[in-house]
């Protein structure tokens, strides 16, 4: 992407704290993230002319609460990856001239559920008719269903699946903001209680409160902000199925693959160019699917790749370096936190900083393998 | 693969067997009504495209393969194989007295997949073997009949 047509992330920040925040509503978390991100960019709310966030509380509520009258709004709500799509849509809007300085916000009282939207469970919806009658209880009992098929087809072992959590805890141990920081072993994971066999508690993400926001603008303004510009080099979005039972192939994520191909192609890079990687990890199998979908490993090899230490501190492909949804934080729609860590790594200001990150790739998941957005972030324009 | 059985806590219904809240019921919509009507008759009725021939599920008025609206309902054989599952230890409303239960996805002989529960066999990793042959049955739940699957004749069962 040329500098003339390029787009940057000029401001990025999370809420001042994440974790258990019973004194914050969902809206408050949006607002604190927004205030922090706008300050990070050295701007004021008067400079913002576009807003994007998920449907609850929605772009109008967030903009109005901040005193912003946007010239462009996006309320795309396709699950936890939505914020990656917001960045993509913001890039298109900036190129089209619809807005110049766009705020993307996330806030979710996922744990304390203060001012949180109720979970949609209409019994006449398709999931309500064709999945809920079988006793699904949120993502733990449904997002996990494809894994056993994958294990049979590709020989992924229970120990390799458990090791995903072990590897990520090594990163979390270096992140003072992470909820869980004590190192764990495969035995610890396999002896934690069964939540939905073959998944144990430590193979499932946290449930926390928190938020964050981004300021997206045109690359011709790079250098005008207090922090180094993070260039949005490539973006992609796609989907698979809105119900886990209808996922096209239980052994691969079509959404990750198509969104990833689009993002890498736009950036003009291959997987060999990637210095740092974030893959949305609601459960331990999701990074395995992500590594394979984007071609970081051959199909069936990602579990062994992680178990061999390639993605942990000192490995050749640092993955989920904030500790991820498994150990850092997971509000329910985790995508914003994956972007934030990608930005920090490119800027060189992460808690567990990887040396010389020129390119970070962020892979988002929405719903349960239902949708995906992928971002390629870079220190330099291409 | 490790042996998973040792991970499973003993099944101990915490409460005395009182009448549990009812399990979730589907609420049919116009495009799904023929499916649920079929279940009420003890038939698994799904759709196929009259232009490209593709059978499909869940019910909708457009073929997901070719976009045709020239589609029809037909009665499937009810034969299926076990495609994947979890054994859920945190019960949904109405499942409190069931102990850990499988939430499964089966592949119908006609091709489409659907979510279901598995009956007539212990819901354990040892008994639930992927690709085992299954046959549809219908569980009466209030006014509705819900399709569930159990071992096909010839497969081991309780």
Helices in chain A by DSSP H: which ranges? 26-40, 59-65, 82-96, 126-130, 146-154, 158-172, 186-191, 254-267, 285-293, 302-307, 324-327, 335-347
Quick one: which H or E segment has residue B36?
helix B33-40
Contact A354, A318 (CB under 8 A): yes
Share of chain A above pLDDT 90, in %: 96
pLDDT digits (tens, 9 = 90+) for A274-330: 999 999 999 999 999 999 999 999 999 999 999 999 999 999 999 999 999 999 999
Question: Which of B2, B83, B115 has its CB closest to that of A131?
Answer: B115
Give the structural domain span for A223. Answer: 7-115+206-378
Query: B36: distance to nearest CA of chain A, Å?
Result: 10
Contact B76, B114 (CB under 8 A): no
Give the mutation candidate from B59, B86, B87, B100 for the A interface (greatest A CB count, under 10 A): B86
Distance CA A363, CA A165 (A): 18
Q: What are phi and psi of A55, to 5 degrees?
A: -70, -25
Distance CA A175, CA A172 (A): 5
Angle between helical axes of A146-154 and A285-293 (0-180°, round to 10): 60
Q: Is the residue at A346 inside a domain?
A: yes
In order of A185, A227, A300, B141, the CA distances from A257 in angstroms are 31, 32, 15, 40
Q: Which two tokens stand for residue A61?
A: 């509520």
Peptide bond into A198 cis (omega under 30): yes
The position carrying tokens 């009812």 is B22
Indicate yes or no: CB of B27 within 8 angstroms of CB of A243. Answer: no
Contact A326, A284 (CB under 8 A): yes
Give the mutation candidate from B105, B117, B129, B138 for the A interface (greatest A CB count, under 10 A): B105
Domain tally, chain A: 1
Share of chain B above pLDDT 90, in %: 82
pLDDT bucket at A382, cuts 50 / 70 / 90: confident
In chain B, which residues have their Cβ closer than 8 Å to the Cβ of A254?
none
Contact B139, B148 (CB under 8 A): yes
Distance CA A142, CA A244 (A): 7
Q: Is the residue at A220 inside a domain?
A: yes
Distance CA A325, CA A139 (A): 13
The DSSP symbol for A244 reads G
Say yes or no to pLDDT of A352 above 50: yes
The pLDDT mean for chain B works out to 89
Size of interface A-B (CB pairs under 8 A): 137
Q: What CATH number is attached to the domain comprising A355?
A: 3.40.47.10
Q: What are phi and psi of A58, to 5 degrees?
A: 95, 155
Peptide bond into B58 cis (omega under 30): yes
Q: What are phi and psi of A8, to 5 degrees?
A: -125, 160
Query: A159: distance to nearest CA of chain B, Å?
Result: 7
Q: Does A146 touch chain B (CB under 8 A)?
A: yes
Q: Which two tokens stand for residue A180?
A: 């869980």
Fold of B28-76: Rubrerythrin, domain 2 (2.20.28)
Distance CA A66, CA A64 (A): 5
Residue ranges, comma separated, of all CATH 2.20.28 domains in chain B are: 28-76
Residue B134 pairs with which residues in a beta bridge? Answer: B80, B151
Burial of A255 (0-12, 13-18, 19+ CB in 10 A): buried
Indicate yes or no: CB of B84 within 8 angstroms of CB of A250. Answer: yes
Q: Which two tokens stand for residue A94?
A: 């900036």
Distance CA A23, CA A112 (A): 9
Distance CA A363, CA A278 (A): 6
Contact B67, A105 (CB under 8 A): no
pLDDT digits (tens, 9 = 90+) for A74-101: 999 999 999 999 999 999 999 999 999 9
CATH match of B78-158 with 2.40.50 = yes
Closest CA to A331 of A64, A60, A112, A125: A112
In chain A, which residues have their Cβ closer than 8 Å to the Cβ of B23?
133, 135
pLDDT digits (tens, 9 = 90+) for B23-35: 999 999 999 999 9
Contact A217, A10 (CB under 8 A): yes
| The pLDDT value given to residue B153 | 83
Query: B89: distance to nearest CA of chain A, Å?
Result: 5
Say yes or no to pLDDT of B21 above 80: no
Q: Which two tokens stand for residue A247?
A: 């996922």
Indicate yes or no: CB of A158 within 8 angstroms of CB of B2. Answer: yes
**A140 against B18, higher pLDDT:** A140
| Mean pLDDT value of segment A251-262 | 98
pLDDT bucket at B4, cuts 50 / 70 / 90: very low
Peptide bond into A57 cis (omega under 30): yes
| The pLDDT value given to residue B9 | 44
**A198 against A119, higher pLDDT:** A198
Indicate yes or no: CB of B2 within 8 angstroms of CB of A190. Answer: yes
Q: Does A197 touch chain B (CB under 8 A)?
A: yes
Q: What are phi and psi of A220, to 5 degrees?
A: -65, -10
The pLDDT mean for chain A works out to 96
Contact A202, A162 (CB under 8 A): yes
What is the value of pTM for the model shown?
0.94
Residue ranges, comma separated, of all CATH 2.40.50 domains in chain B are: 78-158
Q: Are strands A359-363 and A276-279 parallel, antiparallel or unpaired?
A: parallel
Indicate yes or no: CB of B103 within 8 angstroms of CB of A123. Answer: no
Closest CA to A75 of A50, A54, A103, A61: A54
Distance CA A162, CA A186 (A): 6
Q: What is the dihedral of CA A299, A303, A306, A308, to 10 degrees?
A: -100
In B26-93, DSSP assigns E strands to 45-49, 55-56, 71-75, 79-88
Distance CA A268, CA A260 (A): 12
Complex ipTM above 0.90?
Answer: yes
Distance CA A346, CA A366 (A): 24
pLDDT bucket at B17, cuts 50 / 70 / 90: low
């Amino acid at each position: 992407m040329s500098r003339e047509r390029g787009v940057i992330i000029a401001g990025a920040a999370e809420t001042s704290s994440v974790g258990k925040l019973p004194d914050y509503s969902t809206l408050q978390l949006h607002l604190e993230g927004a205030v922090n991100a706008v300050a990070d960019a050295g701007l004021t709310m008067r400079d913002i002319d576009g807003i994007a966030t998920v449907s609850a509380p929605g772009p109008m509520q967030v903009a109005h609460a901040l005193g912003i009258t946007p010239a462009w709004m996006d309320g795309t709500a396709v699950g936890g990856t939505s914020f990656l799509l917001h960045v993509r849509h913001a890039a298109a809007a900036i190129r089209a001239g619809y807005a110049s300085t766009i705020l993307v916000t996330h806030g979710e009282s996922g744990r304390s559920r203060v001012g949180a939207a109720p979970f949609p469970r209409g019994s006449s919806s398709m999931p309500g008719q064709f999945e809920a009658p079988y006793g699904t209880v949120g993502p733990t009992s449904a997002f996990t269903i494809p894994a056993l098929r994958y294990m049979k087809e590709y020989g992924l072992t229970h120990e390799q699946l458990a090791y995903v959590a072990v590897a990520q805890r090594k990163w979390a141990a270096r992140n003072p903001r992470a909820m869980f920081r004590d190192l764990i072993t495969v035995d610890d994971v396999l002896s934690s209680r069964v939540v939905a066999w073959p998944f144990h508690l430590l193979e499932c993400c946290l449930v926390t409160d928190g938020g964050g926001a981004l300021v997206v603008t045109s690359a011709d303004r790079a250098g005008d902000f207090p922090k180094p510009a993070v260039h949005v080099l490539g973006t992609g979005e796609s989907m698979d199925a809105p119900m886990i039972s209808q996922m096209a192939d239980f052994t691969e994520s079509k959404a990750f693959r198509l969104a990833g191909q689009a993002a890498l192609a736009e950036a003009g890079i291959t997987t060999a160019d990637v210095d740092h990687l974030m893959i949305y990890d609601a459960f331990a199998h999701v990074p395995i699917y992500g590594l394979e979908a984007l071609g970081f490993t051959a199909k069936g090899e990602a579990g062994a790749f992680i178990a061999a230490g390639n993605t942990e501190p000192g490995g050749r492909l640092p993955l989920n370096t904030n500790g991820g949804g498994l150990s850092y934080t997971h509000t329910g729609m985790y995508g914003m936190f994956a972007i934030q860590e990608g930005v920090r790594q490119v800027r060189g200001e992460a808690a567990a900083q990887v040396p010389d990150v020129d390119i970070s790739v962020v892979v988002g998941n929405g719903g349960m393998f239902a949708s995906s957005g992928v971002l390629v972030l870079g220190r330099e324009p291409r | 693969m490790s042996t998973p059985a040792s991970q499973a806590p003993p099944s101990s219904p915490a409460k005395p067997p009182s009448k549990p809240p009812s399990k979730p019921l589907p609420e049919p919509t116009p495009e799904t009504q023929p499916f649920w009507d079929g279940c009420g008759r003890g038939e698994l009725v799904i759709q196929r495209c009259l232009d490209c021939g593709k059978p499909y599920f869940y019910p909708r008025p457009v073929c997901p393969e070719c976009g045709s609206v020239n589609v029809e309902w037909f009665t499937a054989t009810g034969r299926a194989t076990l495609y994947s599952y979890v054994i859920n230890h945190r019960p949904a409303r109405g499942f409190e007295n069931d102990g850990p239960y499988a939430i499964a996805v089966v592949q119908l002989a006609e091709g489409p997949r659907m979510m279901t529960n598995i009956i007539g066999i212990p819901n354990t990793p040892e008994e639930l073997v992927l690709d085992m042959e299954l046959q549809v049955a219908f569980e009466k739940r209030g006014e509705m009949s819900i399709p569930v699957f159990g071992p096909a004749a010839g497969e081991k069962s309780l």
